[in-house]
Structure formats: C-alpha cells, structure tokens
C-alpha cells in the first residue's frame, strides 16, 4: 500500500507514563503504516526534562514555531512528591505553560465528532469551542511561601531607572504570595486568534470575563 506523503514535518513531543505508551501504539498502528511523514522528535518525559534542565521543552517549542505543527503527549508537572519520586533537580514548571508562552498561544478546546462513536448528546451537531488566553498570568508567575510577619511589596522599574512600588499585603503570619504579568501585545494576539477562528468556522464569537474585581 502506498503511503500518503505529508509535505510538512511534524514536531512530536513525547510524554510521560501511559500517555507515552498509548501514543507509541497509535503511531505504530494508525499513523506510520499509512503516512510518509518527517517527524521531528523531542522527549518531554520528566527524566529528560530534568537531565536537560528543561531546555528540551524550549527547543520543542522553537521547533513548533518553525514547522507550525506539533503533537504533544500528556506530561507530568512535578509537585513536591514527584520531585522526590523522580529525584529531580528542582520543581520544573508546566511544560504546557512554557510552550504556550514561547508560542504566545491561544488554547482552543474543541470536541471531535466521529460518526461511529456515539455522543452523549446524540443530536448535538454544533459544538462549543472554548478559547483561552494562555500566556503569562499564573502559568509564568513567581510564587513563594511567606514565613513570619512582614510586608509584601511589588516594584516595577523602567529601563530608565524610574520605579513604582506598591504595598500588596502586611502579613501577620505565614502565608503565600504570587506575582503575575501579561502584555498588551499578547492580549491583542489572543483577540485576533479568536476572531480568526470564528471567521474560519463561520460561528458567532462571545467573550466571557469576570471583571467584578479586576477592572
């Protein structure tokens, strides 16, 4: 049987645990026998991310920027228990967050309809696609545990050396702190991606926000 030639290389981001096993089976049984495709492979398993100081994640994201197509398996975002389990150098950040920030990406979640797989709502023919701004914010935040009493402040210093400082909270005991950011450029890119998706599909576009606190 002649294989279908795929013109564009595809970036493969291998993952952890059962996702790694299942993806290998999918490739061997459903993809490679039928497609002649150039695969650019990156191992994003937790041990390899640790061995490369997470550089492999950044390299994979740069490859996606170059080739425009990436397929990623589920990966472990380590917590304290995982750090001990795998004897990691540190608690590495979410690879999804790292990739999204490099791609300045918008995440669209869309159900896949397959004729021979019954749907929970059988007559639902027009799915809802959720778009989410996935740059900055909690994904790339600086967070830390606070020990004891003290004042938390945040400071922005311009390239010219001018500073703006704000008092965030005066702790009377232990707690936690989190500092986040985003950029006007990324927010505009999110809007453009959302409009382009709606135009491509010919669907209405709605914006949902919670602005009772942040204005």
Give the global pTM. 0.73
Count of CB atoms situated within 10 Å of the CB of 73: 20
Please, which residues bridge with residue 36 across strands? 5
Q: What is the mean pLDDT of the chain?
A: 91
pLDDT tens digits along 65-105: 999 999 999 999 999 999 999 999 999 988 988 998 888 77
Domain extents in the chain = 1-103, 104-137+180-215, 142-178
Q: What is the dihedral of CA 45, 105, 10, 111, to 10 degrees?
A: 90
Q: φ and ψ at 72, to 5 degrees?
A: -120, 135
Which residues on neighbouring strands pair with residue 177, listed in sequence order?
A: 144
Question: How many beta carbons lie within 10 A of that of residue 29, not counting itself?
Answer: 10
Within 10 Å of residue 94's Cβ, how many Cβ atoms? 16
**Whole-number pLDDT of residue 208:** 84
Give the model's pLDDT for residue 124: 79
- Burial string for 171-194 (b: 16+ CB within 10 Å, else e) reads beeeeeeeeeeeeeebeebbeebb
Residue 29 has pLDDT above 90, yes or no: yes
pLDDT at 214: 64
pLDDT at 215: 61
- Write the pLDDT tens digit of every residue in 137-147: 777 789 999 99
Q: What is the pLDDT of residue 106?
A: 81
């Amino acid at each position: 049987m002649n294989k279908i030639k795929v013109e564009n290389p595809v970036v493969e981001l291998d993952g952890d645990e059962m996702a790694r096993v299942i993806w290998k089976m999918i490739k061997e049984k459903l993809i490679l026998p039928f497609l002649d495709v150039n695969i650019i492979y990156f191992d994003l398993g937790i041990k390899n991310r640790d061995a490369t100081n997470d550089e492999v994640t950044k390299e994979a994201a740069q490859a996606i920027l170059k080739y425009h197509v990436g397929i990623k398996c589920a990966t472990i975002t380590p917590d304290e228990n995982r750090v001990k389990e795998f004897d990691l150098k540190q608690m590495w950040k979410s690879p999804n967050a790292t990739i999204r920030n490099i791609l300045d990406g918008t995440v669209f979640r869309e159900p896949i309809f397959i004729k021979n797989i019954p749907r929970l709502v059988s007559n639902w023919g027009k799915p809802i696609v959720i778009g989410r701004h996935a740059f900055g914010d909690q994904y790339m935040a600086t967070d830390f545990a606070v020990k004891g009493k003290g004042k938390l402040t945040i400071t922005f210093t311009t390239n010219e050396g001018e500073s703006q400082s704000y008092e965030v909270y005066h702790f009377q005991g232990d707690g936690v702190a989190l500092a986040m950011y985003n950029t006007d450029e990324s927010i505009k890119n999110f809007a453009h991606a959302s409009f382009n998706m709606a135009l491509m599909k010919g669907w209405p576009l709605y914006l949902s926000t919670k602005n009772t606190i942040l204005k």
